[in-house]
Amino acid sequence: MSVSLDQLQAFVVAAETGSFSAAARRLRKAQSAVSTQISNLEEDLGLALFSRAGRSPSLTPAGERLLLEARVILDRREHLIGVARSFEAHVEQRLVVAIDEIYPEQAMAEVFAEFARHFPHVELELLFPMMEDVSRLVLTGQADIGVMWRQEILPTELGFQTLGWVPIKMVCGKQHPLANVRVDWEDLKRHRQILVAARNDGPEKQRLRVAPEVWWVESHWVILQLVRQGIGWAFVSSHVIKASPVAADLAIPELQFDDFDLPVAVELVWHKQRPCGPAAKWLRERFAAIRI
Amino acid sequence: MSVSLDQLQAFVVAAETGSFSAAARRLRKAQSAVSTQISNLEEDLGLALFSRAGRSPSLTPAGERLLLEARVILDRREHLIGVARSFEAHVEQRLVVAIDEIYPEQAMAEVFAEFARHFPHVELELLFPMMEDVSRLVLTGQADIGVMWRQEILPTELGFQTLGWVPIKMVCGKQHPLANVRVDWEDLKRHRQILVAARNDGPEKQRLRVAPEVWWVESHWVILQLVRQGIGWAFVSSHVIKASPVAADLAIPELQFDDFDLPVAVELVWHKQRPCGPAAKWLRERFAAIRI
DNA sequence: ACTCATCTATCTGAAATTTAGATGGCAACT
DNA sequence: AGTTGCCATCTAAATTTCAGATAGATGAGT
């Protein structure tokens, strides 16, 4: 059988250390063993991986290209061993998390980066259900965990925990009539408001509605594009505004009223009756530990 | 060294054939060799891959999961050998193709599906440069091949070949004033036209402009969303209209004039002075062979 | 120019691994 | 009950891998 994992490992370590001798030391093998393995690999593949022109071998173009492939294979082999290890530890094999767009992306990215380090062999699916209710996904079992903004009433089957509050800003285009004034409630009512569309009706759809004339758009990104064009104004969480490519073309005028409850609560939800594995448990605790 | 490719192969073939004996026959090895390899693999991984309760072994849950990983590793090993083979054949390692959105996606998908079969080890990068000139990408070497609509003058360094003609339709919202009339030239001028925005100015930016009042939008998809809202009308290629989720809400009124050159030519472009490898050659011939 | 250190390739013999073949025990089928 | 096909175990042989010794080449330092 040609091309063994040992050969690939000798090849990769030699490339990384810069010499067969150093690779042999790293692998705790005789230098000749490494030399022979690499020579055999080159014979099996039918090309040179290293040029031996000088004292130190250097990778050929083919060697550089195949190094990437070899690394992938060795990584996958480690991954397979890791998957086997996770069976021993009874860690979930797969986790589905539904997250509303309102959760700050940076904090989320940090959570999942750490999750990846802790549970490298758990298959993760992240849903961003713009057009679906996060709590319903968790209720029906389509998601294991949900992160969403507060609804008036959650089904009693769901457990929840408040993670924090996300500030919402009123935003419009720089040429919009409201761009350079201190905006009051009547001002907001007089101009078209652009709201996030949800495909299922519910109280959350009307939650931030102020104006009688509204547009519904299915993406915050497109909302900001439209707002930039002066078509209307919108309430958008500040992290979404920051992340938008058109942020520089937007105005965030000052509001005259202070009693409007602009920050909205962000909740973590899960199904009380479904058992929680170590990965889901870790994730819940990690979300809860981060103040947003 | 634990977990060898031979072990993984014995495992995968045994899973596929349903028995160690059949795997041994497939692999032209003694049945005991296969049995031993699988047992050694299970010992290395620390878990059972097969249940031996009956006469035929059956995969355990761990075995089913690890079978997927093992297959990936064996596939990657074959891929590595394939990459080595492509070096022998002097096939390009990488190809960048810039394609204007006007090229019908279905035909393109078929071309690249076939390309993937012919050149499985060529790294392909597809650019859809909405905001950049395809011919300039090819001229500057950022793309090896370009597919674009005809410009008035191409730089002399570029070779080109006409692939065909794409019909362009005038489209508006169903509530737009032009929706239910036979539209003439003056009608078009009187209403806002929405055009594809390009970040660099050039003659192609104004190519389809008819109306004095225009909007520029960076995406055909968003153009159609805006057209649907009755904000204006647009010229859009018919395959883009068909692919849009809002196609049902659009009107395509009949035009009174017949001499307008609505179909636009689609060109394949390449740099005359840059050598063309077998993968690029194949791709050019394949694009040329498809009538659109 | 000389010396020294480090490198790779080759060779030999030993160790480790893999394999084929024989065999026993078990399950499923007829 | 008899037959067939399977897996696990054992033994001996074949193959592969390895360590260690060695020769020759290269590069750095003096």
Question: Residue B20 — very low, low, confident or very high, per pLDDT cuts 50/70/90?
Answer: very high
Count CA within 13 A, CB hemisphere, residue A91: 20
Contact list, B81 vs chain A (CB under 8 Å): 2-3, 45
Strand D and B22 CB separated by under 7 Å: yes
User: Minimal CA–CA distance to A268: which of A94, A126, A115, A145?
Assistant: A145
CATH topology of domain A168-262: D-Maltodextrin-Binding Protein; domain 2 (3.40.190)
Q: Does B199 touch chain A (CB under 8 A)?
A: no
* A189 contact B CB<8A: no
The pLDDT assigned to B205 comes to 62
Nucleotide with smallest C1' distance to residue B17 CA = D6
Given its phi and psi angles, is residue B90 left (phi above 0), alpha (psi -120 to 50 degrees) or beta?
left
Please report the ipTM that was assigned to this predicted complex: 0.60
Select from A222, A166, A165 the least CA-distant residue to A194: A222
Which of B221, B226, B218, B222 lies closest to B242, judged by CA?
Answer: B221
Domain B5-88 CATH (choose: 2.30.110.10, 3.40.50.11540, 3.40.50.720, 1.10.10.10)? 1.10.10.10
pLDDT at position B227 over 80:
yes
pLDDT for A205 equals 61
The CATH number of B94-162+265-289 is 3.40.190.10
pLDDT exceeds cutoff 80 at B207? no
Mean pLDDT of B108-118: 75
| Closest-CA distance of chain B to residue A48, Å | 10
DSSP state of B154: -
Q: Sorting pLDDT into bands at 50, 70 and 90, what band is A219? A: low
The gap between the terminal CA atoms of chain A, to the nearest Å, is 55
B83 inside 8 A of chain A by CB: yes
| pLDDT at position B261 over 60 | no
Interatomic separation, CA of residue A54 and C1' of nucleotide C1, rounded (Å): 22
Residue B109: band (very low, low, confident or very high) from pLDDT cuts 50, 70, 90: low
Query: What is the tens place of the pLDDT at every residue in A20-57?
Result: 999 999 999 999 999 999 999 998 898 899 998 888 89
- Domain ranges in chain B? 5-88, 94-162+265-289, 168-262
State the residue for tokens 């104006």: A211
What confidence category does residue B26 fall into, taking pLDDT thresholds of 50, 70 and 90? very high
How confident is the model at residue A136, as a pLDDT? 81
For A183, the token pair is 């905006």
Instruction: State mean pLDDT over A198-203.
Output: 57
- For domain A94-163+266-289, is the CATH number 3.40.190.10? yes
A79 chain-B contacts, CB cut-off 8 A: 69
Q: Hey, what's the torsion of the CAs at B114, A62, A40, A3, to 10 degrees?
A: -30
Give me the pLDDT at residue A214, please. Answer: 77
- Reported as a single tens digit per residue, the pLDDT across A53-80 is 888 899 998 999 899 889 989 988 888 8
Protein CA A33 to sugar C1' C14 (Å): 14
* Residue B280, token pair as written in the block: 């690029």
Residue B106, pLDDT score? 66
Question: pLDDT tens for residues B35-93?
Answer: 999 999 998 898 899 988 877 889 998 999 899 889 989 988 888 888 888 887 888 87
**Comparing C-alpha atoms, which of B266, B68, B275 is closest to residue A93?**
B68
Please name the residue that has the structure tokens 């360094």. Answer: B157
CATH topology identical between A5-88 and A168-262:
no
Alpha helices in chain B (DSSP H): 5-17, 20-27, 31-45, 61-88, 105-118, 134-139, 185-190, 220-228, 238-243, 278-289
